[in-house]
Chains A and B, each alone.
Chain A
């Protein structure tokens, strides 16, 4: 009976992970500036963006997935399926709350917060593990620090990149014709920047693959099955972008028709550089949307435009609260499972 329930939960977890992969594609707005620039038709934008996400998911995601699914934990502790189940429920609830509040919350922060909550509850109430050794604190620390540093570096890289391009290229453009020719070139450069960014979005999206890696790590699925589901997740991320993401992209693109491709290029390139750096060198899952928000701020500062710090403050409060609240929620859910004997 217990085995049957465990099997059902594993299937449920895999289904949720695949669903999450679909939602990553569906909510991905990275390609919106490209659609707004009008360089390519929307269908081509979706195909290119989806293919790049799928590529990143299949070939470059293992580092981040293993970080979330295994390395973040301390020695002698492995995820149980009910821990993962509680993590997913908590993450989803917190993101739904965020959507209703109109705050772009990070699914990555929510996931790691939830993991923190269930592992602490497991250590305290079931596993007999010392909470001090429940985590690989170096890894967890690097993940949390990266959440603060990645937006900051996003801001700095964008600022620096804009100032550099402005000094050596943009400032030499005097008339509308020259500016337009220059922006046409940037529109094509934007294609490359978006592909680059989408690849690293796919590679850094830890939600779905972290869960799958955890299932592989605790022996619920083997390596071949893990990779099979990685490919399935990649296909679902592609389909998510192609089928559902088009509405997000089209909607955003219609608001960005006056935006300059050069701005889009600088923002996306900076964010992609940060994502790549975090993925390749540290394998830490970061929030793409947070990096983008700070990159936009960096660009606004560089262009001497006004920044709405009031709105930013509200966002920041939610960003900081995401980790502890997701941890609390996931901990309570998992405590509920433990109460019924499901560990």
Chain B
């Protein structure tokens, strides 16, 4: 397990490309989980913790140090053919942070009260899926280096989960669009954009997992 507490440049320089990638993935995943937790606080109308968690996603910059160390290292590295692909994996992890930060900023503009319990349950279900595919993605990224077949299988699971999420998304949107007309539009827009934001993150994770499958297919010595 990589220690995320001591991120001095000196320590980062000692790490291998793989270690830096895993550390970066852990850091981004931690922020994604914080955001999911934050949205769960929002569902419970615990606005303080909601804001605290989402602020954490926006304000955390530790991954920038890791990113800089990685970029400096891979530029000079003598890795063979997977150099460009590793850089792409790293940039795809970074995209999760970008989407997460965008979503966190968007969610912080307003503090919504959810329309009813069923809606809350469905959002919780979507968040549960998001949490699962996010954690699975960490496993997939960490497994690329040691077992491409396993990484490929994990990604297949991510795609299945994301498919279930998509079904839930349509259920949620259908529910949202069918509320009584006296429901205030500001909340409607907020919830719609929240669902779309969560799905944007899920879509990126799905595309990322497809890229991992592409790498596995590209590099694995098939019998």
Contact = CB atoms under 8 A, between A and B. Distances in A.
A303 interface: yes
A177 B81 contact: no
B80 A187 contact: yes
Nearest to B85: A176
A16 interface: no
Interface stretch (A214-222, A253-261, A278-286, A333-341): A253-261
A304 interface: yes
Given A37-B80, A183-B80, A260-B81, A176 B221 contact: no
A138 interface: no
Interface of A is mostly: helix
**How many residues of A sit at the interface, in one of the four size bands?**
20 to 34
A102 interface: no
Given A174-B148, A175-B146, A180 B221 contact: no
A170 B222 CA distance: 9
A261 B215 CA distance: 17
Given A303-B222, A304-B222, A176 B80 contact: no
Interface in A158-192: 166, 170-171, 173-180, 183-184, 187
A38 interface: yes
A180 B80 contact: yes
A147 to B, nearest CB: 33
A54 B180 CA distance: 87
B221 A179 contact: yes
B113 interface: no
A175 to B, nearest CB: 4
Give the residue among A176, A187, A303, A304 with the most B Cβ atoms within 10 A: A176
B80 to A, nearest CB: 5
B146 A177 contact: yes
Nearest to B144: A176
Interface of B is mostly: loop
Given A170-B221, A171-B221, A183 B144 contact: no
Contacts, number: 48
B219 interface: yes
Given A175-B143, A176-B148, A257 B221 contact: no
A180 B219 CA distance: 9
B149 A180 contact: no
B79 interface: yes
A177 B222 contact: no
Contacts of A178: 146
A184 B80 CA distance: 7
A178 B215 CA distance: 14
A38 B80 contact: yes
B153 to A, nearest CB: 12
B78 to A, nearest CB: 8
Nearest to A181: B80
Contacts of A38: 80
Nearest to B86: A176
Interface string B135-173: 000000001111111000000000000000000000000
A180 B82 contact: yes
Contacts of B143: 175
Contacts of A171: 221, 223
Give the residue among B145, B221, B222, B223 with the most A Cβ atoms within 10 A: B221
Nearest to A177: B145
Contacts of B147: 174-175
Nearest to B223: A171
A175 B215 CA distance: 11
Nearest to B215: A176
B121 to A, nearest CB: 40
A257 B81 contact: yes
A178 B221 CA distance: 11
Contacts of A173: 221
A3 to B, nearest CB: 61
Nearest to A257: B81
A177 B80 contact: no
A178 B80 CA distance: 12
A183 B145 contact: no
What 9 A-B pairs have minimum CB-CB distances, sorted nearest first? A175-B146, A177-B145, A170-B221, A174-B147, A175-B145, A176-B145, A183-B80, A176-B144, A175-B147
Interface of B: 18, 79-82, 143-149, 215, 219-223
Given A174-B146, A179-B148, A187-B80, 11 more contacts: A38-B80, A173-B221, A175-B147, A176-B82, A176-B144, A176-B148, A179-B219, A180-B79, A180-B82, A257-B81, A261-B80
